[in-house]
Each structure stands twice: as structure tokens, then as C-alpha cells.
């Protein structure tokens, strides 16, 4: 088995211990790295469009454009990185990627969308679904379980 990441029968690779699951702390670090670049991007765009009032206002939202910048743009960028690179920039820097849990191949668009939506479910009960990564034998959070994905170390 030269390339376990493209092996159609993932059970063989997983049973042989060839897959290295990405644990809780490396995924936290990847999320922090991703948060930094997303915040820099959204704050820069907000400042360019609204000026300094963007940071001074106590309102939750400045309007429709702010919703596009703060919610829609991060969603689109995350989905594009997941689809084309199987990882966000933070995951790429740390050498980890998202794969289909059954095949270890690239996850489908539907699974990636489920994974993104699964984050909200995983966060609702005091982030237990996120912390689950630390306890699960395959290092899956609830969002991974919902979508049928794994986060593994790249070869």
C-alpha cells in the first residue's frame, strides 16, 4: 500500500495503523491560525467600506454588507479551501487535511457542507462536540461524525 490516502478500502489502512489522526491541540492551533487571517480580512474589508465607525459602533451588524463580509465571505472561503485543498490555510501550515472517513479520499461537497453546518451543532452544548476530538479514538468531533470526515496528517 504505497499511498494509503487514496486507498479505496480505508478499513485496511486504518486497521494497520497507517492513518495518523490529527488530535485536538493541533486542530485548535489550525483554527486559531485560520481565525487570524479571516479576522484580518474581514476587519480590513469592514474598515475599507465603513471606515473607523466599523470598530466604534456597538451595533451587532452594520447592515447587509457587513453580514456578507462577516458571515458569507468566511463560509465561501472555508468551503473553497476545503474543496480545492482539503484544508484551510491553518491546516495546510500544520500539515493536516480533511478526508472522507470511509475512503480516505477527498471529501465530497455535500460532506464538506454538512461538516460546516455540523460545527454549529457541535458548539451548541458548551462546545462539547468540539472537545469530543480529544476523547474520540479516531479524533472526530461531532461535525466530523455528522459529515463522515476525518482530519489526518498528510504524508
Q: What is the pTM of this model?
A: 0.84
The candidate with the shortest Cα–Cα distance to 85, out of 30, 32, 138, 139, is: 30
Instruction: Give the cell for residue 66.
Output: 457587513
The candidate with the shortest Cα–Cα distance to 136, out of 151, 120, 124, is: 151
Alpha carbons 13 and 5: distance in angstroms, whole number = 8
Indicate the pLDDT class of residue 2, thresholds 50, 70 and 90: very low
Alpha carbons 43 and 91: distance in angstroms, whole number = 22
Alpha carbons 39 and 121: distance in angstroms, whole number = 23
- What are the domain boundaries of the chain? 4-153
Alpha carbons 67 and 76: distance in angstroms, whole number = 13
Indicate the pLDDT class of residue 6, thresholds 50, 70 and 90: very low
- Which residues does residue 98 pair with via DSSP β-bridges, in sequence order? 151
State the average pLDDT for the chain. 89
Amino acid 137: pLDDT: 96
Amino acid 155: pLDDT: 79
Amino acid at each position: 500500500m504505497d499511498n494509503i490516502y487514496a486507498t479505496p478500502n480505508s478499513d485496511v489502512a486504518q486497521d494497520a495503523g497507517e492513518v495518523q489522526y490529527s488530535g485536538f491541540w493541533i486542530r485548535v492551533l489550525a483554527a486559531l491560525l485560520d481565525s487570524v487571517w479571516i479576522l484580518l480580512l474581514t476587519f480590513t474589508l469592514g474598515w475599507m467600506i465603513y471606515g473607523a465607525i466599523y470598530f466604534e459602533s456597538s451595533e451587532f451588524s452594520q447592515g447587509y454588507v457587513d453580514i456578507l463580509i462577516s458571515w458569507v465571505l468566511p463560509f465561501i472561503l472555508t468551503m473553497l479551501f476545503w474543496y480545492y485543498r482539503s484544508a484551510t490555510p491553518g491546516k495546510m501550515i500544520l500539515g493536516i487535511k480533511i478526508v472522507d472517513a470511509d475512503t480516505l479520499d477527498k471529501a465530497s461537497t455535500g460532506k464538506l457542507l454538512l461538516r460546516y453546518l455540523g460545527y454549529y451543532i457541535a458548539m451548541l452544548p458548551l462546545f462539547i462536540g468540539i472537545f469530543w476530538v480529544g476523547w474520540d479514538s479516531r479524533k472526530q468531533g461531532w461535525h466530523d461524525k455528522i459529515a463522515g470526515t476525518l482530519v489526518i496528517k498528510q504524508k
